[in-house]
Amino acid sequence: MSVEDPHLWLEDVTGEEALDWVRARNGETLAELTESPRFAELRDELREVLDADDRIPYVRRRGELLYNFWQDASHPRGLWRRTTLESYRRPEPEWELLLDVDALAEAEGENWVWQGATVLRPDYRRGLVELSRGGADATVVREFDLDAHEFVEGGFTVPEAKTRIGWIDEDRVYIGTDFGEGTLTSSGYPRLAKEWRRGTPLEAATTVYEGKPEDVSIGASHDPTEGFERDFVSRSVDFYRSELYLRTPEALVKIDVPDDASASVHREWLLVRPRTAWTTGGTEHPAGSLIGIRFDDFMAGDRAFTTLFTPDDHTSLDYWAWTRHHLLLGTLRDVRTELRTLTPGPDGWAEEPLSGGPEFGSADIFDTDPDVSDEYLINSSGFLQPSTLSYGHVGEEVEVLKQAPAFFDASGMEVAQYFATSEDGTKIPYFVVRPSGAEGGPTLLTGYGGFEVSLTPSYSGMIGRGWLARGGTYVVANIRGGGEYGPSWHTQAIKAHRHRVYEDFAAVAADLVERGITTPEKLGIQGGSNGGLLMGVMLTRYPERFGAIVSQVPLLDMRRYHLLLAGASWMAEYGDPDEAAEWEFIAKYSPYQNVHSGRAYPPSLFVTSTRDDRVHPAHARKMVARMREQGHDVRYHENIEGGHGAAADNEQLAFKWALVFEFLWEQLTKY
């Protein structure tokens, strides 16, 4: 045991001594937070939201059928099922059941959690089903016959690991998994990409590409689009830099775009989104733009790209999706969605608007059918508008397919957007949702601030039931580190500039008080994963600004984060603690190293999961152990299963959020 860190023993995830400590802390927290009538009401109301029969059953098209995975009170592990578009249009579609995960778990005596399926195009008769134990990232892969509704005896099967697998054809797959010692990267992901043929043992698979131990991951994929069949190999050098290769019978040919750019190939087109400005073919393409060129021309040396999107100070590219003949763009203008249609033709690309979502809302192209048609599914919602799932074809009227129920009464509530000024003068947008005229009351502020993840307005029955309907104010901060204003919004706040994330969030907290929206004593904050780290920094650096803090599945010990589970893959975001110059700036904010006795901190709750194999539960364990030794007001709850989401089913999810809301209401209504 290190003298510097007396709590290293808590890094033993399933060690009996560590789990005894976890059980003791859980018992204390549950005794405090679960005995009130309000907790039971919160838990039951949230469970109603999660299990509601009239939720939208979201679907993905695969061939002629629409596929859905559904969980409710009777099926907590879930049902994999499918139907036709005609049937889906009805209030009660007729579903064809493919797999009952609850029945499978009971029959096999396993705690299976659904993690998805990869289905073979274009016939969609075979699938590679991924199941995890307790919700972990690591999965077991088993081949499934969709016509027979059963697993394929003697089919492709992969033991539990962080596996990347995809079809080449019915008898071959590309696979990266744990092949034994030395076959994983330092981040715990596949270092080898192999081609595996049906009927042969996994160890006989042929190596296609071998990465370096310090890479994040390696993968290979096959594009079966008729007339454009291609194979690719990808190498993730770090979280933001990657290399893409075309696999030919002769060799791997590098697609020569910048390593920090996003590149994708669809039919005849190559699209590139640079993360930093890229000059090629005599033209400079700014960071966050989208440019296109015919793939074969590019591979032959042509660099005359067409600009498809150019960002500005208010607008960024959020995502794109192909239909058969069109490219659909989702953009954000001051964090509000705008949709566009781009169509290639003999005279270049034509652009038209595509009807979008509500004010202060978001609209996501949920699915397309790029092999066959120009159809798309669009899901739109806002803070106070339940989701609407619509169906359309480019250039035609949009048909509403499903409307989600309202889980709380939004009448009399309002949404506003404000801008706070951070320490360096940058304007930071944030949304405020509250009952009309509410001032100075309990307020819940959340944020993320990392990995170019954007927080856009969306409907949450959980927040609505647990917070808004009870008179609380809800705030979402769009701080740097996210992607709300494109790559530069993110890159301004990585590594040595990480402090800007925390200054931005603290500025929003101060702005809420200055506007009279709340007071420090009634301001609670909540965040998870990288957002959990954000909460830890707020606790240790700005404790006087908050009345309660909830940190979920967090990173907190930034001295050792790169040594724990997938932590090494995030060094491009945070830096390398083993490099003295980089540890110097990390050390200034790392919560575990910056919590001290003799300083007043607001009451806090840390929530994590034993089965989280992405962010190690020891981050939260050790932080709480240190805070308890120092005499601080801290609580802890660790779900024994649940993965990085800290919950494996709706019952656990409702329980977790009821704990969070009960804690916040308890603390923020004292005054």
- Reported as a pLDDT band with limits 50, 70 and 90, residue 2 is very low
pLDDT of 357 reads 53
**154 burial class (0-12, 13-18, 19+ CB within 10 angstroms)?**
exposed
CA 654 to chain centre: 19
Per CATH, the architecture of 8-48+407-668 is what? 3-Layer(aba) Sandwich (3.40)
Give residue 1's pLDDT: 31
Is 80 exceeded by the pLDDT of residue 644? no
| 3-state percent breakdown (helix, strand, coil) of the chain, nearest 5 | 25, 35, 40
> What is the pLDDT averaged over residues 172-185?
96
pLDDT category of residue 358 using cuts at 50, 70 and 90:
low
Structure tokens at 222: 């096959």
pLDDT, tens digit (0-9, with 9 covering 90-100), for 64-77: 999 999 999 899 99
Enzyme catalytic residues: 529, 644
Percent of the chain with pLDDT over 90: 92
DSSP characters over 203-227: GGPEEEEE--TTSSEEEEEEE--TT
**3-state SS string for 328-349:** EEEEEECCEEEEEEEEEECCEE
Reported as a single tens digit per residue, the pLDDT across 430-484 is 999 999 888 899 999 999 999 999 999 999 999 999 999 999 999 999 999 999 9
pLDDT at res. 640: 77
| Domain ranges within the chain, ordered by starting residue | 8-48+407-668, 312-406
DSSP codes, 517-577: S--GGGEEEEEETHHHHHHHHHHHH-GGG-SEEEEES----TTTGGGSGGGGGGHHHH--T
Q: Which pLDDT tens digit goes with each residue over 118-158?
A: 999 999 999 999 999 988 889 999 999 999 999 999 999 99
Note the pLDDT tens digit of each residue in 647-668: 567 899 999 999 999 999 999 9
**pLDDT, tens digit, 9 for 90 and up, residues 496-554:** 999 999 999 999 999 999 999 999 999 999 999 999 999 999 999 999 999 999 999 99
